[in-house]
Structure 1
């Protein structure tokens, strides 16, 4: 028994170390992907969508607070890939770690469920996990740039807004997709695969046209989001939204299509407004549809149970509604009229 306990005690630090390294590598990989496309606002470089914030919130919701160490390590690796180590770097690491931890604590406080099967879960992720919690990282990061003299004071709000929206978009677009992975089940039937293939082919044709056409055709994306949400719920709508956001970000950073001829600030505003409305539409519409389907199934199960109870209660009644006499309910041995 002592040997078993000792082995268990040794495994816990090993498992924690493996999880920490895995989370850090995922965070770092997401950061490198995010840095592939950048915008410049008031002389500061930022990413329109910061995927590591979504990775961090998803890891905390799946694995718990023990993921915070991996998030901090991943944030440090991303920063060190851009600049040399200095003590002020630790402040940025602290802000990038504290923001998703704050999101996790607030979501737990309101009873957030990772399946996003309720409208309240979608609203909590939007307003608490994305918009509120990410204020911490943007304020810390931009405030640090102003404090060390790398950013002018009059440019604070423009850069702060870009940083905040980028972190929030990472949570809205990446976190729901990652939360779906542990819930993957057996594949759907062949008929659903055919519909999914059709939706995928149409999306691959319409989205590049909408995001790169000189004519403003971004509105063509929303029917696809509605179709994906109605038929494939959160998995379909969020994957469609994420793919569209990637192509829209590429078009914005290249200043082509609907983003051509705009100033840097106008490109940022148009891109973030599009990404935000698209993510909200996909997330909240999917949550509403899933909640309504679950409610309908609950009502159907309750009706079925009620029918079974009524059938059980009426199973002993005579035919044609003939009333049962008191003497008929007695056992033949106890009936005085029986021979």
Structure 2
């Protein structure tokens, strides 16, 4: 027994190191992927959607707070890949690490379930994990740029808004998908696969047209999001939202389609407003539908269990006695069996 315990203790540090390195690699890879599309606001370059924040929050929720060094390592690699290290490096690393850690702590306090089976889980992820916690990374990061002279003071708020929304969008789009992938169990039936393929084909045609149309047809994606949420819940709605966000981001960074003729600030405002409302619609609507379906299944299960209990009680009670009538009560003590006696 002592040898087994010793081997288990020796394995734990190795598992922890692997987890930290895996988080760092995922952070770096998703960061490089997000940097493929950039926008410039106030003299600073940012990504409209920063996937590493979503990877970080998901890793902390699944693996625990202890994997936070992987976030710092990954952020360090991403920063070195785009600019030489400076005085602002420590502050930015602190902000990029503290924001996901704060998000995980806030979600833990809110009793967040990683299966996102309740509407309150979707609300908590939106307002606590994304909008509230990501103010830390934006405030610390942009503040360090201003303090070190890399950013003018008057550009603080436009850059802060772009940084904050990019981090929040990473949480809203990436974190739920990673949490859902962890809980995937059964495949779809053939009929559902046909509907899923039809939805995917329509999305591949409709979304690029909406994003690249010069008359701004981005609103056409909302019926698609609603269809995906109604039929495929969170997985379908988030996949449609992610694809739509990617196409809209590409069109925005190319300054084409619905974003043609706009200055960088207007492009940022329009893109982030669309991405935010579209993702919120997908996440909250699908979470609400999932909660309603789970409630209905719970009620059906309870009714089924109640019927089984009633059947068991009926089967073990024997024949049910016939209720007495008024005639029975009248002739109960009569030796003539309840028949009237002849009168003299």
Both structures adopt the same fold (TM-score exceeding 0.5): yes
Paired position in structure 2 for 1:301: 301
Q: Any gaps of 5 or more consecutive residues in structure 2?
A: 325-344
Distance 1:156 1:87, change over 3 A: closer
Q: Does 1:181 align with 2:184?
A: no
CA drift at 1:184: 0.9
Distance 1:85 1:42, change over 3 A: closer
Paired position in structure 2 for 1:99: 99
SS of corresponding position for 1:185: coil
TM-score by length of 2: 0.91
Paired position in structure 1 for 2:135: 135
Cα distance per residue 1:50-103 (max 9 Å; x no partner): 110000000001100122010110000101111223343121111100000000
Paired position in structure 2 for 1:28: 28
CA drift at 1:323: 4.2
**What pairs up with 1:283-302 in 2 under 5 angstroms?**
283-302=283-302
Cα distance per residue 1:265-305 (max 9 Å; x no partner): 11001000000001100000000000000111111111222
| Alignment root-mean-square deviation, CA | 1.3
CA drift at 1:220: 1.0
Q: How many residues align?
A: 323
**What pairs up with 1:137-176 in 2 under 5 angstroms?**
137-176=137-176
Paired position in structure 2 for 1:205: 205
- Supply the distance in 1 between the matched residues of 2:188 and 2:211 (Cα, whole angstroms): 31
- Supply the distance in 1 between the matched residues of 2:169 and 2:102 (Cα, whole angstroms): 17
Paired position in structure 1 for 2:265: 265
Cα distance per residue 1:32-64 (max 9 Å; x no partner): 011110111111111111110000000001100
Cα distance per residue 1:158-191 (max 9 Å; x no partner): 1101100110000001111111111111211111
Q: Does 1:84 align with 2:84?
A: yes
Runs of 4+ residues over 4 Å off in structure 1: none
SS of corresponding position for 2:45: strand
TM-score by length of 1: 0.93
- Supply the distance in 2 between the matched residues of 1:99 and 1:194 (Cα, whole angstroms): 41
Paired position in structure 1 for 2:275: 275
Greater Rg by CA: 2
Paired position in structure 2 for 1:45: 45
SS of corresponding position for 2:97: helix
